[in-house]
Amino acid sequence: MPSLAIERLESALQARHFDHTLASHRRFVEGVARVAPTGWASLDAPLGGGWARGELSEIVGARSSGRTGLALATLAAATRRGEVAAYVDAVDRLDPVSAAAAGMDLSRLLWIRGPALTAEQARPAAIDDAVSKAVRAFDLVLRAGGFAVAVLDLADISPRVIRALPPATWMRLARVMDGATGTAGRDTAGLILGDAPVSRSAGGVSVRLTATGVWAGQSPQQHRLARLAIRAEIVSARHIQGALRVGA
Amino acid sequence: MTSLVACVVRESPNLRLPLNLPSLSNLARLFSPRIAPWLDAAVVFDASGLDRAIGPPDRIASEVCRIAAEQGMAVRVAIAGRLTTAWTLAHARRGVSIARPGEEAATLASLPLDSLRSLGAGPLDSLRSLGLRFAPDLECLEILRRWGLTTLGDLARLPRGEVHARLGPDGVRLHQVASGEDECPLAPVDEPTRFHERSELEWPIDSLEPLAFVLSRLCDALEGRLARADRGAVAITTRLRLVTKTAHERTLHVPAPMRDARVIRTLILLDLESHPPGAGIDVVEIDLDVAPGRIVSGALFDLTLPSPEDVATLVARLSALVGEARVGAPVLVDTFDTRARALAPFVVRDARPASGSVRDSDSRTDPGRLSVRRLPLPVAARVTLEHGRPARVQPSARGLVGGPVTQCAGPWRSSGAWWTLDRRAWDRDEWDVELPGAVYRLAHDRASGSWSIDAVVD
C-alpha cells in the first residue's frame, strides 16, 4: 500500500532530518487519498472531500432523484484520476452513454451485469436470485481490493427483497472494508445505491437525494428537459446535516 | 570464479529420446540452468559457482549421485575444469571422478587410449550440440596403438607438431583431448519451449474438489519452470480425457503473463465450474502459451491498482457467478440506437490518467446532468395523447409509477438498420416525459404504434 510505504519512508527520512521533503505528499495521503471525491463539488465540501474509503456509504433516493447521476459522477472522478472502479448492476440498468457523458473513462470501469430483468414486474424468485448474486459479486470486488470505488446498484429493487437478505450481510461487507479480514477493501469507497436506506458502516454516510426536472425552452420545438434540480441530505453517525442544494 | 563442468552418465543408457523431458536433464537442472543433454544417456552441466553453494567438487559429485539414487538412477559423475575431460572421465570410469582445474592432463594420463572412443559414442550431431565437435578417427587410434602408446598420458607426452606432421588435424584433436584441452566451450541448450504437464489418474475423478489437488501439483511444477525461464502464461489450455474416451478442452486467455500456481489453478477451476466435463476424468493435461515475464516497477506515490493476477482471478470468479458475457468494461457501440450496450474485456492499465495530470476541477461533474437508467426489457405503456403529445402514461409494470404528464419534450425521431433483413431495424419517436414521481424516456414505435418506457432519467 502506498500509504504504508510512505509511512516507512517518512520514518527513515525523519531519522535523518529530511522529513520536510515529503510535506506535500503527507497532505496528499491524509487529505485526498483517504476519500474518494463524489465528483460534485457542492457535495464534496460537506462530506469532507468525498466518500470515506474503507467505509460503506449509501445513496438513497426515489426514481429520478439524481442518485444514478451521483454514482456516475463518483465513478467518473475516480477513473479520471487513473484509478479503477466497479459497478455491480443488480438488474442491468447502467447506460454506458450516460456514463461516458459524465466523463467516465469506461475502460477503467468493471461492470458486473445482473440478469436483464424488469425488476418492477419480474418473478420474486428471479429478483431474489439477482440481488443475492449482486451482493456476492460486490463482496468479491471488495475482497479483491485495488478499486477506488465500488457501487452496488440495488435501486429499483423492492425494499422487501433487500430486507429479506440476512442481516449479517451488511455487517460482513463492512468488515471486509474496514480491513478486519485483510487489507484488500481499505482503499475502496463502497457505495450502495437504493430506493430506501439499506445499510452503511459506522464511518459511512447516507446521502438522500430528491430532485425535480428543470425544463427549458418556451416553444414546443425548443422545449426540453435541461437538468435535474437536486437537493441532498447527508446523514451520518455523527451529525444530520440539513438539505443542501447541489444542483441548479 | 573457477570454471567447472560436470558430466553425468547413466550406467545403463537409454538411447531413445523419451516423450517427456529426459530425467537426466531434470537432474542436471536441479544444479544448473546451463545444461547440454545427449539423449538420455549423458548430460553435461556448468558447475561453476556451485562450490559456494554445495562445496568442493567431490561434494558436488556426491550430491549429484545422492539425488540420482533417490530418483532411481545409477550414474557416473565426473567434474573437471574442461568439458572434454569431464566427458572422457565420466565414460571411462565408474563412480565419481574429479579432475581439478589445471590437473586435467594428469588425471587423464592413466586412462587407456580406447577411452577416446567415447567421443564417438553416439550420433555426431548430438555430440556437436554438446560442444564436442568431432568423432575420433578410428584409424588414427589404431596407428597410435601400433606406435606402442597405451594411455592418454603417452599420447599427451608426444610433441604436438610431430603428431600433426604424421596424423594431420585429427591427430592434433586427439592430442588436445589427451592434454585436457577443449576445442570449444559448453553450448547449453535452452529450456524446452513447451510448458506442458500431464497426469494420468489411477481412478477417475468425478468432482472438481479432488481435481484441485491434481491441478495444484501440475501448476506447482509449471510455476517452477516458468520462473526459471522468466516466462509467464498468457494462455492456459486444459485438456481432460474422460472415461467416455472423449476429450474436454478449455483455453483461457489471461490479460498479462502470470506464473503464480495458485492463480493459474484457481482460474482453471473456476472455468471448469462454469464448463464442467460431462463424465469422470482419466487424464489431466495443462499446456501453457508463454510470453516474457512482466517487469513491475513499484512506485511510492502511484495509485494502487489491482494486479493483473488479481483482476484475472476476480473476473473468473465473477464470470462463474453471473456468466462470462456479463462481466467486463462497458464500451460505446457505434450506432444511433441508444439502447445498444456492449462489454469489452476488463484490463487494468497503468495508473496515469489518459490526459495527463488531473486537477480537482477536472474531475468534477455538473450536478444535475441528466443520466438515464436503461430498462433492459422495455416496459409497455398505455399512453393517452392530447394534441399529438403524451398527456397520460400508464406503465404495464406495477412497480413503475403512472399518471398525468406534467411536462414533456419531443419527439426525437430515430431509425436505423432498415437495410438489414433481420429484426434489428428500428423506427421510433422518443419523448422525455415528467410524471409526479418520475421522469421517463418514452419510445413510440412508428411501425406498430406501440409505446414503451425505455429508460428512467435519474
Same domain, A15 and A43: no
pLDDT band at B450 (very low <50, low <70, confident <90, very high): very high
Same domain, A57 and A149: yes
Q: Do A156 and B332 touch (CB under 8 A)?
A: no
Per-residue model confidence as pLDDT tens digits over A85-95: 999 999 999 99
Q: Is B391 in contact with B405 (CB distance < 8 Å)?
A: yes
Q: What percent of chain B has pLDDT over 90?
A: 30
Out of B310, B332, B354, name the one closest to residue A146 (CB): B310
Per-residue model confidence as pLDDT tens digits over B268-291: 998 898 888 888 899 999 999 988
Would you state the pLDDT for residue A31? Answer: 45
pLDDT band at B192 (very low <50, low <70, confident <90, very high): low
Please, which residues 304-333 of chain B have a Cβ atom closer than 8 Å to chain A?
A: 304-307, 310-311, 313-315, 317-318, 321-322, 326-332
- To the nearest 10 degrees (0 to 180), the angle between helices B83-92 and B160-178 is 70
Number of domains in chain A: 2
Same domain, A12 and A67: no
Would you state the pLDDT for residue A165? Answer: 87
Same domain, A41 and A9: no
Same domain, A51 and A174: yes
CATH code, A176: 3.40.50.300
Q: Measure in Å the smallest separation between the Cα of A154 and chain B Cα atoms.
A: 12
Same domain, A27 and A95: no
Does residue A225 belong to any structural domain of this protein? no
Q: Do A63 and B341 touch (CB under 8 A)?
A: no
Same domain, A27 and A40: no
Range in A170-179, B122-131, B343-352, B380-389 the model is least confident about: B122-131
Range in A75-84, A231-240, B17-26, B35-44 the model is least confident about: B17-26
Q: Is B119 in contact with B42 (CB distance < 8 Å)?
A: no
Q: For CATH 3.30.1490.100, list the domain ranges present in chain B.
A: 195-292
Q: Show Cβ contacts of residue B263 under 8 Å, excluding neighbours closer than 6 positions.
A: B309, B312, B313
Please, which residues 336-375 of chain B have a Cβ atom closer than 8 Å to chain A?
A: 338, 341-344, 346-354, 358, 360-375
Range in A7-16, A63-72, B100-109 the model is least confident about: A7-16
Q: b/e string for A66-100 if b means 16 or more Cβ within 10 A? A: bbbbbbbbbbbbbbbbbbbbbbbbbbbbbbbbbbb
SS3 B131: coil
The whole-angstrom separation of Cα B349 and Cα A84 is 9
Out of B307, B329, B358, name the one closest to residue A110 (CB): B329
Decide if pLDDT at B188 tops 50.
Answer: yes
Cell digits for B410? 419531443
ipTM passes above 0.90: no
Q: Show Cβ contacts of residue B421 under 8 Å, excluding neighbours closer than 6 positions.
A: none
**A contacts of B332 (beta carbons < 8 Å):** 96-97, 100, 106
Most confident option among A126-135, B174-183, B355-364: A126-135
Same domain, A89 and A7: no
Would you state the pLDDT for residue B354? Answer: 52
Would you state the pLDDT for residue A28? Answer: 45
Same domain, A45 and A22: no
Task: Identify the CATH class of B5-178.
Answer: alpha beta
- Please give the mean pLDDT across all residues of chain A: 83
Q: Do B353 and A42 touch (CB under 8 A)?
A: no
Range in A24-28, A95-99, B141-145, B196-200 the model is least confident about: A24-28
Q: Do A97 and B437 touch (CB under 8 A)?
A: no
Per-residue model confidence as pLDDT tens digits over B138-153: 788 888 888 899 999 9
> Cα-atom radius of gyration of chain B, to the nearest Å?
37
Range in A12-21, B27-36, B314-323 the model is least confident about: A12-21
SS3 B150: coil
The CATH H-level superfamily of B195-292 is: DNA polymerase, Y-family, little finger domain (3.30.1490.100)
Same domain, A159 and A191: yes
Same domain, A102 and A28: no
Q: Is A118 in contact with B375 (CB distance < 8 Å)?
A: yes
Q: For CATH 3.30.70.270, list the domain ranges present in chain B.
A: 5-178
Does residue A248 belong to any structural domain of this protein? no
Q: What is the average pLDDT across B196-207?
A: 89
The whole-angstrom separation of Cα B366 and Cα B369 is 6
Q: Show Cβ contacts of residue B452 under 8 Å, excluding neighbours closer than 6 positions.
A: B378, B379, B380, B381, B442, B443, B445
Most confident option among A139-148, A176-185, B1-10: A139-148
Would you state the pLDDT for residue B364? Answer: 65
Q: Is B258 in contact with B311 (CB distance < 8 Å)?
A: no
Would you state the pLDDT for residue A248? Answer: 46
**B contacts of A72 (beta carbons < 8 Å):** 365, 371
Q: Measure in Å the smallest separation between the Cα of B72 and chain A Cα atoms.
A: 45
Same domain, A1 and A49: no
CA distance readout (Å), B49 to A164, B30, B35, B82: 67, 14, 14, 15
CA distance readout (Å), B73 to B6, B9, B33, B203: 17, 10, 20, 28
Per residue, what are the HEC states of chain A?
Answer: CHHHHHHHHHHHHHHCCCHHHHHHHHHHHHHHCCEECCCCHHHHCCCCCCEECCCEEEEEECCCCCHHHHHHHHHHHHHHCCCCEEEEECCCCCCHHHHHHCCCCHHHEEEEECCCCCCCCCCHHHHHHHHHHHHHHHHHHHHHCCCCEEEEECCCCCHHHHHCCCCHHHHHHHHHHCCCCCCHHHHCEEEEEECCCCCCCCCCEEEEEEEEEEEECCCCCCCEEEEEEEEEEEEECCCECCCEECCC
B267–chain A Cβ distance below 8 A for any pair: no
Would you state the pLDDT for residue A149? Answer: 94
The CB density around residue B158, as the number of other CB atoms within 10 Å, is 18
Would you state the pLDDT for residue A5? Answer: 66
Per-residue model confidence as pLDDT tens digits over B357-372: 455 555 566 777 889 9
Please, which residues 404-423 of chain B have a Cβ atom closer than 8 Å to chain A?
A: 407-409
| Closest residue, chain B, to A68 (C-alpha) | B458
Looking up cell 589427451 gives B178
Boundaries of domain holding A23: 1-33
* CA angle, residues B378, B379, B385, in degrees to nearest 5: 110
CA distance readout (Å), A154 to A91, B167, B239, B285, B371: 8, 92, 40, 42, 17
**A contacts of B344 (beta carbons < 8 Å):** 107
**B contacts of A36 (beta carbons < 8 Å):** none
Please, which residues 3-22 of chain B have a Cβ atom closer than 8 Å to chain A?
A: none
Does residue A242 belong to any structural domain of this protein? no
Element (DSSP H or E) covering residue B61:
helix B57-70
Cell digits for B109? 594420463
Q: What percent of chain B has pLDDT over 70?
A: 88
Would you state the pLDDT for residue B342? Answer: 92
Would you state the pLDDT for residue B227? Answer: 87
pLDDT band at A26 (very low <50, low <70, confident <90, very high): very low
pLDDT band at B14 (very low <50, low <70, confident <90, very high): low
Q: Identify from A111, A117, A183 which residue to disrupt to test chain B contact, counting B C-beta atoms within 10 A and taking the largest count.
A: A111
Q: Measure in Å the smallest separation between the Cα of A113 and chain B Cα atoms.
A: 5
Decide if pLDDT at A225 tops 70.
Answer: yes
Q: Is B264 in contact with B258 (CB distance < 8 Å)?
A: yes
Per-residue model confidence as pLDDT tens digits over A86-125: 999 999 999 999 999 999 999 999 999 999 888 777 788 8
C-alpha A19 chain-centroid distance? 34
